[in-house]
Amino acid sequence: MEVVIAPGPELGRLAAAAVEQLVREQPDAVLGLATGSSPLAVYDELARRHAEHGLSFARVRAFMLDEYVGLAADHPERYRNVIEKEIASRVDFAPGAVQGPDGLSDDLPGACAAYEDAIASVGGIDLQLLGIGTDGHVAFNEPGSSLASRTRIKTLTRQTREDNARFFGGDLDQVPQHCLTQGLATIMSARHLVLLATGRGKAEAVHQLVEGPVSAMWPATILQHHPHVTVLVDDAAASRLQLADYYRETYAAKPDWQGL
């Protein structure tokens, strides 16, 4: 696990550079897209590189991490619509190239199985962008999630619903109780995981993710078992890391050729 501590805007550039390098080398790469505020700087930077440097996503396929259950098709907070607004509509994905779990399906278990099949059918995800919840969730894998889980329905914790109420006019009752989410094993199948976290509110979750014991109580800790994880954090999110100085020294001394 590599930990990079840098100012917020730099984190977005670093993640976007990793995406660009992948897509330039492998134009039909498969990306994993996250919602939430953490990846927004990455999406802004990718949109800029598309507009100004001709970075093309024409052959890229993308899969979303999760989706609310039951939000109307035109609801602005439906993750499919959020991803469309924040990134898909700003670059040149082919029609149908961005997929997400179907939170409006009449057969939710069937939709989850179909989603796993869709990811497998393109050979899996090359680079997965991730955020982290204040309770240590990744995607919507809340504390107690099976570390071996696959895409399935989950019930959101009150903490997560409170955290996300800001997207629903501050009204907790408007935040759905259920979601479909890639499981922890689904996420672990991606070849490179790039997790972004900023702000003091994430400091404890980041400490647990990087330095805590692996436990379903902090679902993100399963990432310690992945061979290629990049954790991009600002000073505030890094403020509880015990080995922060070591991570800074390591990154400062990193050879240029190595990349993320």
Tell me which residues touch ligand GLP (CB under 6 A): 34-38, 65-66, 131-133, 139-140, 160, 164
Out of 142, 192, 207, 234, the active site residue is 142
Query: Of these residues, 67, 86, 126, 137, which one is catalytic?
Result: 137
Which of 67, 86, 102, 135 is catalytic? The answer is 135
142 is catalytic: yes
Nearer to ligand GLP, 130 or 241 (CB): 130
- Beta strand 61-64 with 30-33 is parallel
Burial class (CB in 10 A: 0-12, 13-18, 19+), 242: exposed
Closest separation in Å from C-beta 157 to ligand GLP: 10
Cα(251)–Cα(100) distance, rounded to whole angstroms? 34
Helix (H) / strand (E) containing 33: strand 30-33
Which CB atom, from 170 or from 255, has the smaller least distance to ligand GLP? 170
The strand pairing partners of 4, in sequence order, are 232
Smaller CB distance to ligand GLP: residue 164 or 189?
164
What residues act catalytically? 66, 135, 137, 142
